[in-house]
Structure 1
Amino acid sequence: MSTYETKLIARDIVAADTMIFEFERPQGFDFKAGQAIDLILVETEVAEAKGARHTFSIVSAPFENKLAIATRMRAASTFKLALKRLMVGTPVRIEGPYGSLTLRDNSRRAAVIIAGGIGITPFLSMARQAANDQSSQYLMLVYSNRRPEDAPFLSELTQLERLNVNFRLVATMTQASKSNIHWNGKTGPVDENLLQQAAGHFPEPVYYVAGPPMFVEAMRATLADMGIAESSIHSEDFFGY
């Protein structure tokens, strides 16, 4: 696995307690949508975080000339405290890419993507790349969050749905009543009924799941109850995101 030198070029808030960090894309760094990197802090005012590393899925798409990650900032960790304080221009290192949560090369089978919260990051990379390529593979994204303000990249995903006729977004909120934003979309958890509505008409789709471990476990159990073969389910747990 290769190590690359780069630097922070931008940062922004993308949802409640959630930030995106953009880095220069190192020369020769190639990856597939859905893969991840290790981010290593080289310079930081948080002394105990110097040299620390954290794994992040890549939220930018392979066609883009930048490299971006996004993360929840509510977790009280030394690494995230240091990351939040990084100034634009600060050098960092990355290792990778790695990971197998990538779209299988079979455009005849629809991809049903199930994301919980920050688990959207690898799937946004996929959706961006598919729109850029005008991919013929059908992507159905089922995206669960507590409230609209907790949903990273929701507006961009809505725009990608307009740009790509083979991409559809189904977003649901589990705590919409606690939101300060009006939500007239679906509410409640991702369950068998919602998945049947969204994807029941697809012949032999491939399922991809990412999010907090409890979410991924629940989705895998639901898919198993629906009779989906384990070989057609690919998942990734996001610990501490």
Structure 2
Amino acid sequence: MVTRYEVKLLHRRQVAEHTMEFTLEKPGGFEYRAGQFGDLVLPAGSGLDESHAKHGFSFVSAPFEDTLRMATRMRESSAFKQAAARLPEGSRVALLALWGSFTLHKNTRTPALFLTGGIGITPVRSIICQALHEDSGHEISLIYSNRSPEQAAYHAELQQLSREHPRFHYLPVFTASQGHVSAQTLREHGGDIARSICYLSGPMGMVKDMRALLVEAGADEDHIRTEEFEGY
């Protein structure tokens, strides 16, 4: 069921090079599962017509947190993103929710491997933070690829979480200096891939390439779950 919420844009901030995070107030009683997403609808004053004023975003915030956060890679060619960047803090926006089944599996005896790059980190950050907050017991590995540390959203936070939680293993890969993620990278740093539920998120082309790498590294194709982003 789709529900419309009228919420306030509290603030926005740059969380990585060319990546903007938007913080919204959380409506009373609003519940969602980590990894799900909603549509952000800009007001009429944004200058966009109705057909261009809506865009879907995963929640980067975790359900236990007090606000809702969404993040996106900014592009000059996107009228929606440019309008969102100009929207004054305190403006009222609409949120249409709730969709998505890209959520953490229940069986804590089965490891989780997250493989993503760039803006694909948004639902992953939500899932991992919620699991660690709940002390769920899952063994979680994250391999996160970006061209440089400056382009890696939430990199410092993920490093800190990996230091604080022995069950969370984080490998950042910076392709400008280290090269691209390979099947060998996955075999060495992805935990028990053959047993793991593997999660891929990001633009369609990246998800397709990463799926092939996972299979090459020994993942069970039936255990690969994906969330493909549109508009990138």
TM-score under structure 2 length normalisation: 0.94
> Which secondary structure does the structure 2 equivalent of 1:44 belong to?
helix
For the 8 Å contact 1:135–1:166, the answer to whether it is kept is no
- Matched to 1:52, the amino acid is A
> Which secondary structure does the structure 2 equivalent of 1:159 belong to?
helix
- Matched to 1:191, the amino acid is S
1:181 — aligned with what? none
For the 8 Å contact 2:59–2:123, the answer to whether it is kept is yes
Structure 1: where are the runs of 5+ without partners?
177-186
Q: CA deviation at 1:219?
A: 1.0
2:67 — aligned with what? 66
Q: CA deviation at 1:86?
A: 1.1
Percent same amino acid among aligned pairs?
42
Alignment of 1:62-211 (within 5 A): 62-176=63-177, 187-201=178-192, 204-211=195-202
Kindly tell me: are residues 7 and 173 of structure 1, through their superposed partners in 2, closer, same or farther at Cα, counting changes over 3 Å?
same
For the 8 Å contact 2:186–2:217, the answer to whether it is kept is no
CA RMSD of aligned residues (A): 1.6
2:220 — aligned with what? 229
Structure 2: where are the runs of 5+ without partners?
none
Choose 13-22 or 194-203, whichever is displaced more: 194-203
- Matched to 1:224, the amino acid is V
Kindly tell me: are residues 49 and 78 of structure 1, through their superposed partners in 2, closer, same or farther at Cα, counting changes over 3 Å?
farther
Kindly tell me: are residues 75 and 168 of structure 1, through their superposed partners in 2, closer, same or farther at Cα, counting changes over 3 Å?
farther
For the 8 Å contact 1:38–1:94, the answer to whether it is kept is yes
Kindly tell me: are residues 50 and 209 of structure 1, through their superposed partners in 2, closer, same or farther at Cα, counting changes over 3 Å?
closer
Structure 1: distance between partners of 2:191 and 2:74: 36
For the 8 Å contact 1:35–1:122, the answer to whether it is kept is yes
- Matched to 2:181, the amino acid is V
* Count of paired positions: 231
Q: Cα deviations across residues 44-64 of structure 1 (Å, max 9, x unaligned)? A: 342446871000000000001
For the 8 Å contact 1:134–1:164, the answer to whether it is kept is no
